[in-house]
Amino acid sequence: MESEKTPAIRQQTSTEVAISQPLQSSVKACLSLLRSQRLSKHKDTEEICPRALALRSNNRPAEISTIYNLALQAELVQCKDLSLLNEVKETPTFSILEQAWGLEYVSRVLIKTHLLGVSNFVGVKTKMEDWQMDELCDQIAMEYDDLNVLEFICFCSRLRSGKYETFYGTIDPAQITKSLAEFYEDRRDDINRAWAKAEKERQDREWEESRKNAISFEEYWESLSDEEKEKSGYMKLLFAKKEHEDKRKKRGVGKVVKDILLGG
Protein backbone atom coordinates (compact mmCIF):
# COMPACT_ATOMS: atom_id res chain seq x y z
CA MET A 1 0.00 0.00 0.00
CA GLU A 2 1.45 3.24 -1.15
CA SER A 3 1.75 5.96 1.45
CA GLU A 4 -0.22 9.12 0.82
CA LYS A 5 1.86 11.93 -0.51
CA THR A 6 1.38 15.48 0.70
CA PRO A 7 0.76 17.72 -2.31
CA ALA A 8 3.52 20.24 -2.82
CA ILE A 9 2.57 23.87 -2.34
CA ARG A 10 2.94 25.64 -5.64
CA GLN A 11 5.14 28.71 -5.46
CA GLN A 12 4.27 31.84 -7.41
CA THR A 13 6.52 32.54 -10.34
CA SER A 14 8.35 35.84 -10.57
CA THR A 15 5.98 36.85 -13.39
CA GLU A 16 2.91 36.15 -11.26
CA VAL A 17 4.37 38.12 -8.36
CA ALA A 18 5.13 41.04 -10.65
CA ILE A 19 1.52 41.01 -11.85
CA SER A 20 -0.08 40.61 -8.40
CA GLN A 21 1.87 43.38 -6.65
CA PRO A 22 0.32 46.25 -8.65
CA LEU A 23 -3.12 44.73 -8.12
CA GLN A 24 -2.55 44.47 -4.36
CA SER A 25 -1.29 48.05 -4.29
CA SER A 26 -4.37 49.28 -6.16
CA VAL A 27 -6.70 47.48 -3.73
CA LYS A 28 -4.86 48.99 -0.74
CA ALA A 29 -5.01 52.44 -2.31
CA CYS A 30 -8.75 52.04 -2.93
CA LEU A 31 -9.40 50.95 0.68
CA SER A 32 -7.27 53.81 2.00
CA LEU A 33 -9.28 56.30 -0.07
CA LEU A 34 -12.59 54.85 1.13
CA ARG A 35 -11.45 55.06 4.74
CA SER A 36 -10.37 58.70 4.44
CA GLN A 37 -13.69 59.60 2.79
CA ARG A 38 -15.62 57.75 5.48
CA LEU A 39 -13.85 59.49 8.34
CA SER A 40 -14.49 62.94 6.88
CA LYS A 41 -17.99 62.15 5.62
CA HIS A 42 -19.97 63.81 8.40
CA LYS A 43 -17.64 66.44 9.83
CA ASP A 44 -14.63 68.36 8.75
CA THR A 45 -11.41 66.48 9.41
CA GLU A 46 -9.85 69.46 11.16
CA GLU A 47 -12.72 69.39 13.65
CA ILE A 48 -12.57 65.66 14.30
CA CYS A 49 -8.84 65.28 14.87
CA PRO A 50 -8.59 67.57 17.94
CA ARG A 51 -11.50 65.73 19.57
CA ALA A 52 -9.90 62.37 18.88
CA LEU A 53 -6.56 63.59 20.19
CA ALA A 54 -8.16 65.04 23.33
CA LEU A 55 -10.02 61.80 23.90
CA ARG A 56 -6.84 59.78 23.57
CA SER A 57 -4.89 62.17 25.82
CA ASN A 58 -7.43 62.22 28.65
CA ASN A 59 -8.76 58.65 28.56
CA ARG A 60 -7.75 55.07 28.06
CA PRO A 61 -9.75 52.51 26.04
CA ALA A 62 -10.55 50.57 29.22
CA GLU A 63 -12.07 53.71 30.75
CA ILE A 64 -14.29 54.25 27.71
CA SER A 65 -15.49 50.64 27.94
CA THR A 66 -16.22 51.11 31.64
CA ILE A 67 -18.20 54.33 31.08
CA TYR A 68 -20.27 52.87 28.23
CA ASN A 69 -20.90 49.51 29.87
CA LEU A 70 -23.54 46.81 29.39
CA ALA A 71 -25.70 48.16 32.23
CA LEU A 72 -26.63 51.09 30.02
CA GLN A 73 -28.62 48.77 27.76
CA ALA A 74 -31.22 48.41 30.50
CA GLU A 75 -31.14 52.13 31.33
CA LEU A 76 -31.57 53.42 27.78
CA VAL A 77 -34.76 51.46 27.23
CA GLN A 78 -36.51 54.58 28.57
CA CYS A 79 -35.27 56.70 25.64
CA LYS A 80 -38.17 57.38 23.27
CA ASP A 81 -36.64 60.30 21.37
CA LEU A 82 -33.26 59.52 19.77
CA SER A 83 -32.53 63.20 19.15
CA LEU A 84 -31.86 63.52 22.90
CA LEU A 85 -28.93 61.10 22.64
CA ASN A 86 -27.68 62.76 19.47
CA GLU A 87 -27.56 66.11 21.27
CA VAL A 88 -25.17 64.80 23.92
CA LYS A 89 -22.21 66.28 22.03
CA GLU A 90 -19.58 64.99 24.49
CA THR A 91 -20.40 61.41 23.51
CA PRO A 92 -17.82 60.16 20.98
CA THR A 93 -18.90 58.72 17.65
CA PHE A 94 -17.44 55.54 16.21
CA SER A 95 -15.49 57.70 13.77
CA ILE A 96 -13.81 59.68 16.56
CA LEU A 97 -13.06 56.53 18.55
CA GLU A 98 -11.52 54.96 15.46
CA GLN A 99 -9.22 57.93 15.01
CA ALA A 100 -8.28 57.76 18.69
CA TRP A 101 -7.62 54.02 19.05
CA GLY A 102 -8.22 52.35 15.70
CA LEU A 103 -11.01 50.37 14.07
CA GLU A 104 -10.20 47.22 16.03
CA TYR A 105 -11.09 48.84 19.36
CA VAL A 106 -14.39 50.20 18.03
CA SER A 107 -15.35 46.93 16.34
CA ARG A 108 -13.83 44.04 18.29
CA VAL A 109 -14.15 45.60 21.76
CA LEU A 110 -16.93 48.17 22.06
CA ILE A 111 -19.45 46.97 19.46
CA LYS A 112 -18.72 43.28 20.04
CA THR A 113 -19.17 43.60 23.81
CA HIS A 114 -22.65 45.04 23.41
CA LEU A 115 -23.78 42.62 20.70
CA LEU A 116 -22.63 39.70 22.85
CA GLY A 117 -24.66 41.26 25.67
CA VAL A 118 -27.75 41.22 23.45
CA SER A 119 -27.04 37.63 22.41
CA ASN A 120 -26.78 36.51 26.04
CA PHE A 121 -29.91 38.45 27.03
CA VAL A 122 -32.22 37.00 24.38
CA GLY A 123 -30.95 33.53 25.21
CA VAL A 124 -30.77 32.05 21.72
CA LYS A 125 -29.60 28.45 21.43
CA THR A 126 -27.45 28.96 18.36
CA LYS A 127 -25.08 31.88 18.54
CA MET A 128 -23.10 33.41 15.71
CA GLU A 129 -19.77 31.96 14.74
CA ASP A 130 -16.79 34.03 15.86
CA TRP A 131 -15.92 35.01 12.31
CA GLN A 132 -19.53 36.12 11.70
CA MET A 133 -19.54 38.26 14.83
CA ASP A 134 -16.18 39.84 13.95
CA GLU A 135 -17.18 40.70 10.40
CA LEU A 136 -20.57 42.00 11.55
CA CYS A 137 -18.88 44.31 14.07
CA ASP A 138 -16.45 45.55 11.43
CA GLN A 139 -19.30 46.30 9.03
CA ILE A 140 -21.27 48.22 11.66
CA ALA A 141 -18.22 50.26 12.67
CA MET A 142 -17.54 51.29 9.08
CA GLU A 143 -21.09 51.71 7.77
CA TYR A 144 -22.50 53.60 10.78
CA ASP A 145 -19.45 55.53 11.91
CA ASP A 146 -21.52 58.66 12.61
CA LEU A 147 -23.43 56.93 15.42
CA ASN A 148 -22.32 57.93 18.87
CA VAL A 149 -21.84 55.28 21.53
CA LEU A 150 -25.05 56.08 23.45
CA GLU A 151 -27.09 55.78 20.25
CA PHE A 152 -25.63 52.35 19.50
CA ILE A 153 -26.25 51.15 23.06
CA CYS A 154 -29.85 52.36 22.72
CA PHE A 155 -30.09 50.30 19.53
CA CYS A 156 -28.95 47.24 21.48
CA SER A 157 -31.52 48.08 24.14
CA ARG A 158 -34.27 48.11 21.51
CA LEU A 159 -33.00 44.81 20.10
CA ARG A 160 -33.45 43.29 23.55
CA SER A 161 -37.02 44.65 23.64
CA GLY A 162 -37.84 43.09 20.25
CA LYS A 163 -38.66 46.46 18.66
CA TYR A 164 -37.21 45.41 15.32
CA GLU A 165 -36.36 41.85 14.29
CA THR A 166 -37.29 38.91 16.54
CA PHE A 167 -34.77 36.15 17.17
CA TYR A 168 -36.08 32.59 17.07
CA GLY A 169 -33.42 30.25 18.40
CA THR A 170 -30.57 31.90 16.50
CA ILE A 171 -29.15 35.31 15.71
CA ASP A 172 -28.61 36.01 12.05
CA PRO A 173 -26.15 38.82 11.19
CA ALA A 174 -28.59 39.98 8.49
CA GLN A 175 -31.25 40.46 11.21
CA ILE A 176 -28.89 42.76 13.07
CA THR A 177 -27.98 44.84 10.01
CA LYS A 178 -31.65 45.11 8.93
CA SER A 179 -32.65 46.18 12.44
CA LEU A 180 -29.85 48.74 12.57
CA ALA A 181 -31.03 50.22 9.24
CA GLU A 182 -34.53 50.65 10.73
CA PHE A 183 -33.06 52.18 13.88
CA TYR A 184 -31.02 54.60 11.75
CA GLU A 185 -34.21 55.75 10.00
CA ASP A 186 -35.94 56.26 13.37
CA ARG A 187 -32.94 58.28 14.52
CA ARG A 188 -33.03 60.45 11.39
CA ASP A 189 -36.77 61.09 11.81
CA ASP A 190 -36.36 62.05 15.48
CA ILE A 191 -33.46 64.40 14.68
CA ASN A 192 -35.38 66.05 11.81
CA ARG A 193 -38.48 66.43 13.98
CA ALA A 194 -36.46 68.05 16.77
CA TRP A 195 -34.75 70.37 14.28
CA ALA A 196 -38.09 71.44 12.74
CA LYS A 197 -39.51 72.16 16.19
CA ALA A 198 -36.47 74.22 17.22
CA GLU A 199 -36.54 76.10 13.90
CA LYS A 200 -40.23 76.98 14.31
CA GLU A 201 -39.61 78.22 17.85
CA ARG A 202 -36.70 80.35 16.59
CA GLN A 203 -38.82 81.88 13.81
CA ASP A 204 -41.67 82.56 16.26
CA ARG A 205 -39.25 84.35 18.61
CA GLU A 206 -37.86 86.44 15.75
CA TRP A 207 -41.36 87.34 14.57
CA GLU A 208 -42.40 88.35 18.09
CA GLU A 209 -39.24 90.46 18.46
CA SER A 210 -39.81 92.19 15.12
CA ARG A 211 -43.47 92.83 16.02
CA LYS A 212 -42.45 94.46 19.29
CA ASN A 213 -39.90 96.68 17.56
CA ALA A 214 -42.12 97.58 14.59
CA ILE A 215 -43.50 101.12 14.14
CA SER A 216 -46.71 102.21 12.43
CA PHE A 217 -46.75 103.69 8.94
CA GLU A 218 -47.72 107.07 10.38
CA GLU A 219 -44.73 107.02 12.74
CA TYR A 220 -42.43 106.11 9.88
CA TRP A 221 -43.86 108.85 7.64
CA GLU A 222 -43.56 111.48 10.34
CA SER A 223 -39.95 110.48 10.94
CA LEU A 224 -39.06 111.49 7.35
CA SER A 225 -37.89 114.98 6.48
CA ASP A 226 -39.91 117.12 4.03
CA GLU A 227 -37.26 116.51 1.39
CA GLU A 228 -37.47 112.73 1.88
CA LYS A 229 -41.25 112.89 1.67
CA GLU A 230 -41.08 114.81 -1.61
CA LYS A 231 -38.61 112.31 -3.07
CA SER A 232 -40.76 109.37 -2.02
CA GLY A 233 -43.63 109.94 -4.40
CA TYR A 234 -44.97 106.38 -4.07
CA MET A 235 -44.84 106.50 -0.28
CA LYS A 236 -46.55 109.90 -0.38
CA LEU A 237 -49.36 108.43 -2.47
CA LEU A 238 -49.75 105.54 -0.01
CA PHE A 239 -49.89 107.92 2.92
CA ALA A 240 -52.53 110.10 1.19
CA LYS A 241 -54.58 107.01 0.41
CA LYS A 242 -54.34 105.83 4.01
CA GLU A 243 -55.40 109.27 5.28
CA HIS A 244 -58.40 109.15 2.98
CA GLU A 245 -59.39 105.68 4.20
CA ASP A 246 -59.01 106.76 7.82
CA LYS A 247 -61.31 109.76 7.20
CA ARG A 248 -63.91 107.52 5.60
CA LYS A 249 -63.88 105.23 8.63
CA LYS A 250 -64.29 108.18 10.99
CA ARG A 251 -67.17 109.74 9.04
CA GLY A 252 -69.02 106.47 8.91
CA VAL A 253 -70.46 104.44 6.11
CA GLY A 254 -73.74 106.39 6.11
CA LYS A 255 -72.01 109.73 5.53
CA VAL A 256 -69.94 108.27 2.73
CA VAL A 257 -73.09 106.99 0.98
CA LYS A 258 -74.73 110.38 1.45
CA ASP A 259 -71.72 112.15 -0.08
CA ILE A 260 -71.81 109.82 -3.04
CA LEU A 261 -75.54 110.33 -3.65
CA LEU A 262 -75.43 114.13 -3.17
CA GLY A 263 -72.04 114.57 -4.79
CA GLY A 264 -70.50 115.75 -1.50
Which residue, among 86, 48, 92, has the nearest Cα to 68 in the 3D structure? 92
pLDDT tens track for 206-253: 888 877 777 776 777 677 777 776 666 666 666 666 666 766 666 655
Q: Cα-flanking dihedrals φ and ψ of residue 44, to 5°?
A: -65, 140
Coil, strand or helix at 172: coil
Residues in Cβ contact with 61 at an 8 Å cutoff, skipping those fewer than 6 apart = 101, 105, 109
C-alpha to C-alpha distance for 190 and 158, rounded to whole angstroms: 15
Cα separations in angstroms, 215 against 129, 210, 220, 223, 233: 73, 10, 7, 11, 21
pLDDT tens track for 78-116: 999 999 999 998 999 999 999 999 999 999 999 999 999
Residues in Cβ contact with 108 at an 8 Å cutoff, skipping those fewer than 6 apart = 134, 137
Task: For residue 147, count other CB atoms closer than 10 A to its CB.
Answer: 25
Quick one: pLDDT at residue 141? 96
Which residue, among 113, 128, 130, has the nearest Cα to 71 in the 3D structure? 113
pTM over 0.75: no
